[in-house]
Structure formats: structure tokens, C-alpha cells
Amino acid sequence: MKFRGKIIDIACLNHFTRVITTISKLTKTCVLRLTPDNLFFVLSGKVANGGVSMWCELSQANFFDEYQMEGVSPEDNEICLEVTPENLSRALKTIQNAKAVKVKLTKKHCPCLTIAAELPTLSSISRVVTHDVPVDVIPRRLWNEFKEPSMPDFDVSIYLPPLKTLKNIVDRMKNLSNFLVIEANLSGEMNLKIETDLVSVTTHFKDLGNPPWGDDASQDGGPSQSRDPEAMAQARVDIRKLQQFLMGQQVNPSKAMCNIVHERGRPPDSAA
């Protein structure tokens, strides 16, 4: 197995660092899957049991000026590593002004991602800072656990309001309850609700818009094809986990969306 990459463009380095920092806010460990064309960060939590699942796909050509890898075999040309995103984030944050950054899979006291940064200097003597980030190599027999998850049939898909606005609202609501109800419809309306024995609070959003696959052109046989556009679909979520997601955002997406799934035969407290 071999992997090495090089980033020269500072904007690409900064963007890559923001992605890693966002992931580090969501999980202590995750899987880094390397292929010839892409990098994937994967977390396979059991959502049904309250866990968090994550799938982050990055095209290597968008970040790396040089990128070479050889997988475990010609047939299985991939590398899967268990990494600690916080360690990667710390290393990358110290080298944001580097002239060039090299990332290489190495074998030292243990398998490592070695990050070597060439820093600017006023003299003719080059300055290179090296970070060794320990990783664990995941054996081939476990790779099936880290494939792209299938998208479940959802009732409603809706664009979210600006995440900073959403975060400010959730920060205030967390003092009132441990759970939050998110409800939305196919007319671009979304509500955030808290209902307890002592208080009932609702925040309304309108004209958010719905992604195309949430409409009639969406999933084959999906429930949204014949759904009343005004009908609300609900999901009950843990406020602390939603807040953790919102606090970790560093990439400032132009659009974010929420797909609400309500399992048939169950009350509206299923996960989104």
C-alpha cells in the first residue's frame, strides 16, 4: 500500500482544513477511505440506536496538485484507515501559510499519515515542519462496513435556513427540552417545535424551497410522489446531537438540506 499527495494552493489547503475540522467536531474517530479519484470520511453509527452516521466524499483533484496511491491489490485498489480527525485538524491548522504540504502514508513506530509542510522563510534555508499522525490500517475483510450508505425513502426533503441562524435558535431551545421536533412540507415550510408540560415553543420558516428529488421527479415509488404539499412530516431529534452538528460547521455551505423520514407504523419520533 502506498499513498502520497501534495497541496500547493493555499485556498485548497484552507478548505481541506475546514472540512477536517468540521468532521472532528462530529466524531472522535472515523474511517478515511482512499481511492484513485476520491477521499472518503466515513462514520458508520447505528442511527436507529441513536448513533450518528456520516459520509463525506471529496474529489482528490479539487484539493491535491499531486496524488498517487496504490491499494492493497490491483483488484482492490483502495486503502482504509481509522483516523482521529482532531489530530489531523491540529496538524493542518499549524501550517496554513505553508508554501507546499505533502501527505504520505508511512510506517514508523506505527502506521502514520506524515504531514510535511514547507514554510515561508526570508533566508535561503528552507524550513520544513513534520507531523506524524497515527492511524490504524483496516483489513480488507471489514471494508463492506464502509461503503456508501443507501438513501432511505423520505417523506419530505427541504433546504435549511442559514446554519448560523439555525444554530442560534437551537442554542436557545436546548435550555427548554432535550428533544426537538422538526417538521416540514413540500411547500418550503419548516417548523422547529418544543412541547413540554410547561412550555410550547415553535419557530416558523417559509419559502425555503425543496430539492428536486423531494418532488414528483424523485424516488421511484417514494411516498412524496403523491404527498399533499401542505402536509407536514415530523422527526424528533436529540437537541444535543443537532447542536453538535451545527457547532462543528466550518465549510459554510451554499445550501444544506434536511430529509425527514417517518417510518410507517411508528409515532413521529423517528430520526431525520
Q: Exposure string (b/e) for 59-69, b if CB count within 10 Å is 16 or more?
A: ebeebbeebeb
pLDDT tens per residue across span 72-88 = 888 889 999 999 999 99
**20: enclosing H helix or E strand:** helix 10-26
Q: Is the pLDDT of residue 218 over 90?
A: no
Q: Residue range 127-150: average pLDDT? A: 86
Q: Please work out, in degrees rounded to the nearest 5, the angle formed at the alpha carbon of residue 194 by the alpha carbons of 188 and 199.
A: 135
Cα 157 to Cα 212: distance, rounded to the nearest angstrom: 9
Q: Residue range 47-62: average pLDDT? A: 75
pLDDT band at 146 (very low <50, low <70, confident <90, very high): confident
> pLDDT value at position 225?
59
Query: Are the CB atoms for 65 and 8 separated by under 8 Å?
Result: yes
Look at residue 207 and give its three-state secondary structure: coil
Contacts of 62 (CB under 8 A, 6+ apart): 12
As a whole number of Å, the end-to-end CA separation of the chain is 38
According to DSSP, residue 145 is labeled G
